[in-house]
Structure 1
Amino acid sequence: MQEVYQQLQLVPVERIDLHEDFEPSRLTKTQAQIAADQFIRHPILVVQLQSGRYMVIDGVHRFTSLKALGCNAIPVQVIDEHKYVISTWHHRVSTGAWWQNLQQDSALPWTTEVRQVTPFITVCQRQQEQYLYADDLGQSKLAAWSKVVASYSNNCAVERIAQGEINELSDEVMLLKHQPLDITEIEAVVARGETVPAGVTRFNISGRCLNLQVPLHILTEEATHVRMMKWHNFLDNKINSIRCYAEKVFLVEQ
């Protein structure tokens, strides 16, 4: 348990960066839930950057909610680089005018050509696939990515699908596949003060700590020394309640 105890830290809010945008509707629900509970159930998962700052890899809505609720520090679990794998969510969405608009956008060089490299974005329909390749997008890759995701996110419900869990598509449904950035590319995005689209990047993390339930009164404490004393007392009381489960777990997401 010493490993996870050392990973759990209280980090000033101004030292934490986001690499992805948030979904407004999800943020509203998350903030309301935390305010009602008066605690944050799960610590925010972060990696430490070469600059010494921290980047959120899981918990953008929880972090943004805590910041909006006036928290001066954030409870995080610092994840080692060997404890995560970066992938992406596939997005299953309804067809619509948004897709016709994207096809007609001259800044998006869609093609049906199958190349030796993996497409940056793949649009799957029942009878056809169309692609955007990173080489064709050049320096506008991030802007194009944001435009594509925003176009369907703003017009229809988005169902996240884990890779490998794809069913047959109907004529009314499309599947968007996104090629993940590596950690160096993501850090470069953060260094520029930019973010990638919401709900796409997926960090598969080993050894996350769940159900810590950190009270908000610790996080909103203004005096740093008092806040840290409360935090260490809280962790010391929690350490004997931490259990590590090796077996497979099925989580029902609301």
Structure 2
Amino acid sequence: MKTDIFQLQIIPLNKIKAQERFDESRARGLSERLKKEKILKNPIIVANLYGDNFVQLDGMNRLSAFKMLGFDSIVCQIVDYQDMDNVELGSWIHLFNAKQPDFLSTIAKIKGLNINQGKMDQVKNRYIQSLGPDRISVIVTLNYQISTVTAGGVLLDKVNRINEIVNAYDNIVRDVLPQRSKKEDIKFLFNEHTDCNIMTVFPTFTRHQIIKVVNSGGLFPPGITRHIIKRRCMNLNLPLSFFADKSSVRKKNEFLEKIVFKRKFRVYEEPTVYFE
């Protein structure tokens, strides 16, 4: 179903290529919650890749949970990936708890990485070069010890090194780093997440770089690429029985159109703050 505001479509899972790895514990927990709630609240976000194939931009754990539950399709909101007004790119930071010397020692053993002492003004999101040496991460500890991590090679090499860094820790908390972050901002983030004592900051990747990695068969780590979608569809609340039905995708899309046509919706043009 396509309108002037949004496009929703039931898409076979085998037509959706992931751009990031999934968090197995979160996806499994989500699959259990979906079974209890019996509804899928929000569509995942995809963009057209080529032909009738799509790339997943957001909702990797929902996509993985659907595979775990044995479904063969999922509802998606299709966005124009080249629309810079309605699709913004950013990156998440990771906060977690680990023994600081052990973590830094583990990172230092990863082949192809150069680790150096960093400065506070390097704690920021930045774009990364596709070719040649460049900074792939900044590590900040609770006591403000800062380390920069540099890797060379082609883009996929750097993404693989970032995966190795993320594999060195678990129980990730995601957050957003303020622009032009200062020491007070870092302190605030650690105060917000009191169980965490280490922060990792990653580059922001361009649309071209993300598609290039996907087409090369690579995957980003879970929870690094961040897509801010304007006019994101929420609270669609489709019953899981809809996806369990053995009807064709065409029939499901016809049914989806009837469901959405009957639903009232509001469009929030301005950023909105919800109090929970």
Same fold (TM over 0.5): yes
Shorter-chain TM-score category?
A: 0.7 to 0.9
AA aligned opposite 1:78: I
- Using a 3 Å threshold, how does the CA distance of structure 1 residues 55 and 124 change in structure 2: closer, same or farther? same
Structure 1: runs of 5+ lacking an equivalent: none
C-alpha deviations, 1:39-65, integer Å up to 9, x for none? 210011111114541111111111111
> Which of 235, 238, 251 is the matching residue for 2:260?
235
41-50 vs 100-109, greater mean Cα deviation: 100-109
- 1:102 aligns with 107
- State how far apart, in whole Å, the 1-side matches of 2:155 and 2:69 are: 39
Q: Which runs of at least 4 in structure 1 moved beyond 4 Å after TM superposition?
A: 113-118, 136-139
Which residue does the alignment assign to 1:121? 137
* Residues 1:161 and 2:185 are matched in the alignment: no
Pairing 1:152–2:169 present:
yes
Q: Is the 8 A contact 2:46 2:58 kept in 1?
A: yes
Are the equivalent residues in 1 in contact too, given 2:139–2:148 (CA < 8 A)? yes
Deviates more, 1:136-145 or 1:59-68: 136-145
Q: What TM-score results when the alignment is normalised by the length of structure 2?
A: 0.78
Q: Would you say how many aligned residue pairs link Structure 1 and Structure 2?
A: 246
- Fraction of identical pairs, as percent: 20
Aligned partners of 1:46 and 1:58 also within 8 Å = yes
Taking the TM superposition and a 5 Å limit, the aligned residue runs for 1:192-207 are 192-207=216-231
Decide whether aligned partners of structure 1 residues 195 and 105 sit closer, same or farther in structure 2, where only a CA change above 3 A counts: closer
Provide the secondary structure at the position in 1 that maps to 2:257: helix
Q: Which consecutive unaligned segments of at least 5 residues does structure 2 have?
A: 129-133
What residue is the counterpart of 2:131 in the other structure? none
Give the drift of 1:28. Answer: 1.6
Task: Tell me which amino acid in the other structure corresponds to 1:167.
Answer: I
User: Does the 8 Å CA contact 1:149/1:197 hold for their aligned counterparts?
Assistant: yes
| Cα distance in structure 2, aligned partners of 1:252 and 1:194 | 38
Find the aligned partners of 2:273 and 2:239 in 1 and give their Cα distance.
27
Q: Is the 8 A contact 2:19 2:219 kept in 1?
A: yes
Give the CA RMSD over aligned residues: 2.8
